[in-house]
Structure formats: structure tokens, C-alpha cells
A and B are shown apart, each in its own frame.
Chain A
Amino acid sequence: MTAPALLTVDGLTVRFRLRDAVVHAVTDLSLTLRSGELLAVVGESGCGKSVLAHALLGLLPRNATVTGQARLHAPGRDEVDLIGAGERHLARHVRGRGVGLVPQSPATALTPVRTGRKLLEETLRAHGHTRRDAPAAADRIAADVGLDAADLNRYPHELSGGMAQRLATALALAPDPPVLLADEPTTGLDRPLVDHTLDLLRRRCDTGAAVLLITHDLAAARRVADTVAVMYASRIVEHRPAEALFDGPAHPYTAGLLDALPDRAFTPVPGHPPSLTDLPGGCAFAPRCARATDTCDRLPRLAADGAGRVACHHPLREEVPA
């Protein structure tokens, strides 16, 4: 009954070498993304969320070292090892076709010297459409994302932030990839546009794709996600179905983040997130945690907890292990 897995990530670890330090950007991250699933990865800025998306697309800078596994199982195609595959293979078979990216900043992701229509038709032709049927397909996709034909004929600098975001989304959807990564796709949009963009991603899932939504916006995650993974200091600290996470968080950090929401307590998590170049050996959240004890000097394992996973020695909701 379980939907097929489209993306499996196992023990993914990303390090950046700097002149005098090592940045622990992603540590031992494992997750499975199934057909029809929308997984939101949430966390404070600088916790490693975006690096995850870039690692899966092989878009990290040269000073990055990636270990662990990430496999794409696109239906009807050969399995691809996203970490081991060479640049040539990624460029020809994976980016766009296998794994689409809705970028964080459309203003910098769009080619400034082409109109939206040119960009979209070019993408469609690279993915099997003929010169003759590309214009109609472009109109259809543009209408899907809420761009009208007149807007499509503009250059990126003539578009508002919201329109540019819709164009970038249309470009990601055009090749119909089984897995879609959306990296902060709603930053800077107003609420109706945020909802529109999220609903587009949701509809994508409902037709069998899988979406990894990277966001700092908990309300966005709540609106569309099936499951939510909370990242803190490069690790997943909690991962469970969205409703369970919002109603009964187990990790004190998740609880703290939820309490910071303006429609909840509106109080910040005390203290500051640790620097990724200098992480403690034990639980990275312990210095900010009211429940911390000596036990927290040991690193908590991300272990099964009810319908999800949590990495905490003192979770808020003790589930009896089955």
C-alpha cells in the first residue's frame, strides 16, 4: 500500500573546508521521499536546509565534501546515485528532468536577456517538445502557475517578485520531474501568492510527484506538508506527520519554534543557534534547552518515536516503544 520511494537519502553529510575551519552543514541525514509526498524541511536560517537541496543536485562549491548516499528512483528510468554521478550525467539526465529546482531567488535564477516565453519554450524544447507545439505548451504551463500571456513576453527585470517566482516555478515544472526541490519558494511573496505557489506544489504531489519543500515559514509547511522534518545545527532533530508535529512536538526545539509563532506565544527560543564551525559533541540544542541534563553531553540518536522520529534524550511526549 505504501507509495514507491522516489528519493532515498542515507547518511548524507556535507562539510565545507574554510581556511581555518570546517563547516558542518549537513550531518548524517536520512530520509525517504515517496510518490505523492510533500516533505517540508524547516529550521532557522543557517541550519543547513539549502545545502541539502544543493547537495542533491550536485550544485555545491568545490570546497564541499559530500559523503553518504542519495538515490533517485524515477519510474521507468535507471536508478541514479546523486552523490556519485558525474557532472555530465547530472547535467544531462538529472537536473530538471529527474529533480527539478524551484530556486530561492528567482531574480538571480532567471536569464536576464531572455523573455519568460523564450526561457520556457527553450526548456520545453530541450525536453522533447517540438518548435511547433512548444508555444502552446508554454501558454498552458504559464496559465497553470498563474502567469498570463502578456507577462510571459516580458523580460525578468520587468516582472514583480511574485511574477518572477511564478516564472521560475513554471520552468521547474516544464520538464515534469518526478522529484521537485523547492528552496524557500515563497520568500517575499504576499499571502495569496504564497498560498498559490504552495497549492501548485501540492497539486504536483497529487499527480504522483514528490516535493521537498525547504522553508523557514512554519505556516507554509503546515498548509501543504504531509510530513515535516525539523533541522537544527545540520541534523534532523524531529520528523513526523505534519499534524502530529504541530499539535504535539516531541523535541524541545520544535516546541520552541512553534511557541515563537505570532499566533502562539510569540516568544523566541532563548539563546542563539551554535556556529556550524564549532558544534558541541553532544546535543547541539542542549545549551538552549530547559530540559537538558548531563545525559545531553552524549549525542542523541534520531530514533523512532510514535509515527515519526526524534533525536532527544528528554522528548516532551514519551511514546511507549512498540
Chain B
Amino acid sequence: MTITVPGATDTAAPGGAPAGGLAAHQVSVAYGGQRVLDRVDLHIAPGETVGLRGPSGSGKSTLARVLALLHAPDSGHVTIDGQPLGGVRHRLPAALRTRVAVLFQSPRAATDPRLSLADIVAEPLRATGTPREQAAARAAELADLAGLTPDLLTRRPHAVSDGQLQRACLARALVHRPDYLLCDEATAMLDASTQAHVAAVIGDYQRRQGAGVLVITHDPALMARWATRVVDLPTA
């Protein structure tokens, strides 16, 4: 049943592994027989903002999860700076997996309701063994950068708005100074002002750190404004 549209969509990744960057090579993923990605290539170079576009169900989020090292593809592989990665999640050394961070669409679904915002931001640091005080200091610095006021940091998710919670998720995503940030519809549920603010914080970080950013969005105006290069993902 699979219509084999060759998934090689990314013209900026002509054959082989480019030296720098986060890249998917001939990645295929199926969920229970339903093919969602079919031999897809995608390359994100340091410093660039790649927009990923495609209809609902074309596998954009799946590709983001593969690049975020959260989902093992059925075939194909992911490389960072040309180095192939064998495995996903905790199979990978912390030094490698923390180079990629993700910002999801729904901050509610992506945060533990029992933690304070300060603990949510500091969680990735503690998970990799950073001493508590050092983690708290770094979390406070990033919360400030993301536009969270100190009074919000002691609250738990139910007591803040979606916009405030997504700012906490942004701070959490940047806490390990990732080289790559993947934004999967990260601003879809935010009002225009919060969206512009989140995009500005990411832009500043990107300039300072030279990070590569992947932006998935359905909004053509946002895509045109934010992405420096757009890749279309056809329906698999």
C-alpha cells in the first residue's frame, strides 16, 4: 500500500554525511504497519534555522523525535557532526544526548505537575548529576532569560498559564546549552506576543551559541519569518 515517494527531501544534504550538523539519513519509521517516514534525509547545520513543513500525519513530529534521539528509526540513522549515533535515550552518553533539546507543543503534557517551575527547569541538570545548588543557580539564570519572574518559579504548573509554562519548558530546553533545538509546534498554542517573545529568546540563544534550530509550524507567516530554509515533508 505504501506509495514510495522517495523521501529524500533535503536538497542541502547531498549524499554522505556533511561534516557539521545534526542529520537524519534515509530514516524510515512505521507505526504498526503504517509507514509515516520513508527514507527521509534532513540536515540541520550549526547556526541555521530549518523549517519543516508538511500536511497533518506526514511524520513531522516523528522526524523531530528521531532527531531528538527519543525514537529509534526502523531503518536509517542519525548523525551529529558526522558521527553516527547507535541507540536512543539513555543508551547514549549524557554528553551526546544533551546536545539536542526539544520544545514540544503542549507544555502541560511535557511537565511533571508535582514539580515547581524552578525544579522543572533544573531537572535535566540534576538528571546528569549537577550538584543541587549549581543546578538551581543555572536554572534561575535561564528562567530569567526566558522571561519568567522569580515569583512564578515557586509555583507548580496548575498555577501558571500555558504561555508561562512554555517559557519554563524553553528554559529547561536550554539548560544544557544544546547545539540543536527542535521546536515542534512550540508556539502554536501561544498568543502572538508570547510567540514573538519565545522566538526572540531562541534567536538570541542561537546567535550566541551558534545553535541549529528546527522549526515545525503550520503557520505560513511564522515559517516565512522564522526559518532561514524550508524543507517539505511529503506524505509517506
Report whether A261 and B221 are in contact in the complex, using a CB–CB cutoff of 8 Å.
Answer: yes
Report whether B147 and A262 are in contact in the complex, using a CB–CB cutoff of 8 Å.
Answer: no
Residue B185 is within 8 A (CB to CB) of chain A in the complex: yes
Partner of B55 from the list A190, A258, A269 (CB cut-off 8 Å) is A190
A155 smallest CB distance to B (angstroms): 16
Say whether, besides A193-B56, A257-B192, A267-B196, A272 and B162 are in contact (CB < 8 Å): no
Residue A162 is within 8 A (CB to CB) of chain B in the complex: yes
Residue B105 is within 8 A (CB to CB) of chain A in the complex: yes
Residue A175 is within 8 A (CB to CB) of chain B in the complex: no
Partner of A46 from the list B161, B193, B197, B220 (CB cut-off 8 Å) is B161
Report whether A187 and B222 are in contact in the complex, using a CB–CB cutoff of 8 Å.
Answer: no
A245 smallest CB distance to B (angstroms): 14
Chain B residues closer than 8 Å to A261, beta-carbon distance: 192, 196, 221
B52 smallest CB distance to A (angstroms): 13
Residue B195 is within 8 A (CB to CB) of chain A in the complex: yes
Q: B134-167: contact bitstring with A at CB < 8 Å (1 yes, 0 no)? A: 0000000000000101000000000001111000
Residue B225 is within 8 A (CB to CB) of chain A in the complex: yes
Say whether, besides A188-B188, A268-B193, A262 and B161 are in contact (CB < 8 Å): no
Q: How far is the CA of A192 from the CA of B55 in the complex (A)?
A: 9
Q: How far is the CA of A46 from the CA of B199 in the complex (A)?
A: 20
Q: Which of A234-273 contact B (CB under 8 A)?
A: 256-258, 260-263, 266-269, 272
Chain B residues closer than 8 Å to A187, beta-carbon distance: 188-189
Q: Which of A173-198 contact B (CB under 8 A)?
A: 187-194
Q: B181-223: contact bitstring with A at CB < 8 Å (1 yes, 0 no)? A: 0000100111111111101100000000000000000111110
Residue A59 is within 8 A (CB to CB) of chain B in the complex: no
Chain B residues closer than 8 Å to A162, beta-carbon distance: 56
Interface of B is mostly: helix
Residue A160 is within 8 A (CB to CB) of chain B in the complex: yes
B contacts with A, residue count (CB < 8 A): 31
Chain A residues closer than 8 Å to B162, beta-carbon distance: 45-46
B129 smallest CB distance to A (angstroms): 33
Report whether A262 and B222 are in contact in the complex, using a CB–CB cutoff of 8 Å.
Answer: yes
A253 smallest CB distance to B (angstroms): 9
B23 smallest CB distance to A (angstroms): 26
Report whether B190 and A266 are in contact in the complex, using a CB–CB cutoff of 8 Å.
Answer: no
Report whether A266 and B225 are in contact in the complex, using a CB–CB cutoff of 8 Å.
Answer: yes
Residue B82 is within 8 A (CB to CB) of chain A in the complex: no
Q: Which of A188-226 contact B (CB under 8 A)?
A: 188-194, 216, 218-219
A contacts with B, residue count (CB < 8 A): 31
Report whether A191 and B220 are in contact in the complex, using a CB–CB cutoff of 8 Å.
Answer: yes
Chain B residues closer than 8 Å to A161, beta-carbon distance: 56
Chain B residues closer than 8 Å to A193, beta-carbon distance: 56
Residue A44 is within 8 A (CB to CB) of chain B in the complex: yes
A41 smallest CB distance to B (angstroms): 12
Q: How far is the CA of A165 from the CA of B167 in the complex (A)?
A: 27
Report whether A44 and B194 are in contact in the complex, using a CB–CB cutoff of 8 Å.
Answer: yes
Say whether, besides A45-B162, A160-B57, A262-B225, A191 and B218 are in contact (CB < 8 Å): yes
Report whether A46 and B224 are in contact in the complex, using a CB–CB cutoff of 8 Å.
Answer: no
Residue A43 is within 8 A (CB to CB) of chain B in the complex: yes
Partner of B193 from the list A189, A191, A263, A269 (CB cut-off 8 Å) is A269
Chain B residues closer than 8 Å to A46, beta-carbon distance: 161-164
Select from chain A the residue with minimum beta-carbon distance to B167: A272
Q: How far is the CA of A273 from the CA of B194 in the complex (A)?
A: 10
A137 smallest CB distance to B (angstroms): 28
Q: B96-117: contact bitstring with A at CB < 8 Å (1 yes, 0 no)? A: 0000000001000000000000
Q: How far is the CA of A219 from the CA of B220 in the complex (A)?
A: 11
Report whether B161 and A45 are in contact in the complex, using a CB–CB cutoff of 8 Å.
Answer: yes
Say whether, besides A267-B196, A272-B147, A45 and B218 are in contact (CB < 8 Å): no
Report whether B219 and A216 are in contact in the complex, using a CB–CB cutoff of 8 Å.
Answer: no
Report whether A262 and B219 are in contact in the complex, using a CB–CB cutoff of 8 Å.
Answer: yes
Chain B residues closer than 8 Å to A219, beta-carbon distance: 219, 221
Report whether B189 and A188 are in contact in the complex, using a CB–CB cutoff of 8 Å.
Answer: yes
Partner of A262 from the list B163, B194, B221 (CB cut-off 8 Å) is B221
Report whether A257 and B224 are in contact in the complex, using a CB–CB cutoff of 8 Å.
Answer: no
A3 smallest CB distance to B (angstroms): 30
Q: Chain B interface (Cβ within 8 Å of chain A)?
A: 55-57, 105, 147, 149, 161-164, 185, 188-197, 199-200, 218-222, 224-226
Nearest 8 A/B pairs, CB to CB: A46-B161, A268-B197, A262-B225, A260-B192, A260-B196, A263-B221, A190-B218, A216-B191
23 of the cross-chain contacts (CB-CB < 8 Å) are A44-B161, A44-B163, A44-B194, A45-B162, A45-B190, A45-B194, A46-B161, A46-B163, A160-B57, A189-B56, A189-B218, A190-B55, A190-B218, A192-B55, A193-B56, A219-B221, A258-B192, A260-B193, A260-B195, A260-B196, A262-B196, A262-B219, A266-B200
